[in-house]
């Protein structure tokens, strides 16, 4: 068991000072904290963003003989607290292959436990591409069992991204198709260039979205429109995506091809000044609340309000619980309760 508050805000807050939320679930991963030294994570130094870190690349080749397909950078100065996830698989256009997925999973796992991270921006260093979706060359070499296991792993990765405690933003400056759009849908917010193309195109290949797209898209744009987009495999540009509610902001592409990224950074800067614990708890309240009925959602809001309230554990501050109250909420097969 682990307390929700510890997962959300790290060890800075004592559980004796605030009400925690206990989730009955098993966490089997090893957590590595990210050093807060003002430098890039894994990438190191002030190297340009036009390519992945050479130092990290050498380390990766030495340790695992694998190329770097996903890198990460911590911003500093006025942007301290913003971390960029850099997708840099140029040859396969950021296709979701084994190496890409493995590196992304490890990176997201590391970010999830770092309370110094305030906003995460997912962006691509491949011109004209956010993520091209599944690696079809790899998929063609798999048998049915291997394919099922790999798709299950993709679905798990998207859930891992969606479960990050801090706000996440996908910056789509290019193509985001199939699994690429599913990755963006797993983020909290999305920005796009007008020239970007996005769509869940799996039905055009005799498949259906298998990494969460069939569930997240209806929750985002409505069931009727989602059915139309998935049934037809239709692709839409940034402006249309904005009108649908698929993205939060859409902008004209610039000469450097990173307009959506710049808009995402602008959005991140609007989040940075806000209370970090409050933002994380607000995300948890909304994400959990949409899964249940309104009464249970109100109880979740109350729990999150207490956990994020500066006077938690003291009298005063509406929303905090009396000692004799121990409400519980069922979220699927999980029992959520307030610990004393």
**Which two tokens mark 166?**
């801090």
Residues recognised as catalytic: 134, 179, 182, 202
Q: Do 94 and 100 meet the contact criterion of CB atoms below 8 Å apart? A: yes
Give the strand order in the sheet containing 168-172. 70-74, 82-87, 119-124, 168-172, 189-193, 249-251
Show Cβ contacts of residue 318 under 8 Å, excluding neighbours closer than 6 positions.
Answer: none
Residues 6+ apart with CB under 8 A from 111: 34, 72, 83, 85, 117, 120, 164, 166
- What CA–CA distance (Å, rounded) separates 44 from 336? 40
DSSP one-letter string for 316-327: -STTPPPTT---
Contact, 88 vs 69, CB < 8 A? yes
Task: Tell which residue, 318, 182, 171, 339, has the closest CA to residue 258.
Answer: 171
**CA 261/CA 24 separation, integer angstroms:** 37
Whether 312 and 281 have beta carbons less than 8 Å apart is answered as no
> In this structure, are residues 181 and 187 in contact, taking their beta carbons and an 8 Å threshold?
no
């Amino acid at each position: 068991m682990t307390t929700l508050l510890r997962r959300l805000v790290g060890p800075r807050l004592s559980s004796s000072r605030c009400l925690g939320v206990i989730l009955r679930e098993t966490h089997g991963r090893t957590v590595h904290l990210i050093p807060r030294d003002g430098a890039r994570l894994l990438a190191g130094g002030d190297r340009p963003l036009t390519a992945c870190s050479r130092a990290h690349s050498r380390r990766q080749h030495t340790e695992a003989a694998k190329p770097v397909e996903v890198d990460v950078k911590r911003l500093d100065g006025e942007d301290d607290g913003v971390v960029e996830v850099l997708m840099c698989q140029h040859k396969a256009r950021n296709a979701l292959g084994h190496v890409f997925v493995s590196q992304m999973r490890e990176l997201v796992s590391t970010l999830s436990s770092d309370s110094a991270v305030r906003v995460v921006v997912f962006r691509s260093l491949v011109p004209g591409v956010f993520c091209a979706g599944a690696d079809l060359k790899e998929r063609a070499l798999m048998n049915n069992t291997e394919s099922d296991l790999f798709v299950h792993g993709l679905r798990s990765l998207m859930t891992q991204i969606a479960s990050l405690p801090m706000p996440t933003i996908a910056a789509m400056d290019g193509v985001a198709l199939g699994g690429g759009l599913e990755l963006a849908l797993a983020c909290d917010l999305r920005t796009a260039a007008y020239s970007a193309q996005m769509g869940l195109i799996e039905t055009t290949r005799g498949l259906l979205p298998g990494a969460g797209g069939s569930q997240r898209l209806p929750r985002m744009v409505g069931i009727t429109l989602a059915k139309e987009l998935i049934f037809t495999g239709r692709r839409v540009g940034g402006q249309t995506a904005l009108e649908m509610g698929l993205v939060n902001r859409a902008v004209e592409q610039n000469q450097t091809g990173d307009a959506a990224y710049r808009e995402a950074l602008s959005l991140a800067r609007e989040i940075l000044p806000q209370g970090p614990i409050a933002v994380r708890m607000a995300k948890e309240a909304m994400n959990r609340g949409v899964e249940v009925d309104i009464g249970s959602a109100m109880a979740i809001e109350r729990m999150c309000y207490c956990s994020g309230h500066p006077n938690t554990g003291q009298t005063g501050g509406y929303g905090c619980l009396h000692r004799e109250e121990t409400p519980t909420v069922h979220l699927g097969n999980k029992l959520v309760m307030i610990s004393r």
